[in-house]
């Protein structure tokens, strides 16, 4: 079921979410199905459970390569539950972000360039990955939602924040 996406200003987006404890609960499978459907409907690159009003540490993300937007290379379709993020070094890079909870806007956000993340898939199997660049950016954006952080709270330069049509025309970075 396509669920309404909460927008910035809704206090539920500022909450710290709870870990999943029961991977066998059918409500988890329903939540994931709803998240997939909602993300696909909005053509998003990612979605976190709090964005549909569920305060659990669950995110999904993934994007196919799109030649119109070479700065957003393919990221594998992933379900990530109870994520743990670690950073192998201090290096940051800037990149444009959008968010389904901040629709129609884009801003430049500094993120760590390299990321190691671990967590559980839909069946409760642990996995981990070392990633960098856009993949690392998407995971940091989604996991921030689990701690009540929206990307504008990470921005340092609001001269690079605005409406997508004015900034990009057709080739806008995806919302997540
Ligand atoms: Ni977002």
Residue ranges of the domains in the chain? 11-168
pTM here is 0.96
**What residues are labeled active site?**
142
d(CA 21, CA 124): 10
Q: What is the DSSP letter of 150?
A: -
pLDDT digits 0-9 by tens, 6-26: 999 999 999 999 999 999 999
Host H or E run for residue 33: helix 26-41
pLDDT of residue 61: 98
**CATH architecture for segment(s) 11-168:** Alpha-Beta Complex (3.90)
Ligand 1 mean position, distance from CA 155 (Å): 14
pLDDT of residue 73: 84
Full DSSP string of 103-127: EEEEEEEEEESEEEEEEE-TTS-EE
Ligand 1 mean position, distance from CA 45 (Å): 9
Beta bridge partners of 111: 93
Ligand 1 mean position, distance from CA 146 (Å): 10
């Amino acid at each position: 079921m396509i669920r309404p996406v909460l927008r910035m200003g809704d206090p539920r987006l500022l909450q710290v979410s709870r870990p999943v404890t029961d991977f066998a609960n059918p409500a988890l499978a329903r939540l994931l199905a709803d998240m997939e459907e909602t993300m696909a409907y909005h053509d998003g690159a990612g979605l976190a459970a709090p964005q549909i009003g569920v305060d659990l540490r669950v995110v999904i993300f993934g994007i196919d390569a799109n030649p119109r937007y070479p700065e957003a290379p393919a990221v594998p379709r992933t379900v990530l539950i109870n994520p743990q993020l670690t950073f192998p070094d201090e290096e940051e890079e800037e990149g444009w972000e959008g968010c389904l909870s901040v629709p129609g806007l884009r801003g430049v956000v500094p993120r760590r360039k390299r990321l190691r993340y671990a967590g559980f898939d839909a069946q409760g199997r642990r996995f981990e990955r070392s990633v960098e660049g856009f993949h690392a950016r998407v995971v940091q954006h989604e996991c921030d939602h689990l701690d009540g952080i929206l990307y504008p709270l990470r921005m340092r330069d609001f001269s690079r924040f605005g409406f997508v049509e004015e900034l990009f025309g057709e080739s806008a970075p995806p919302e997540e």
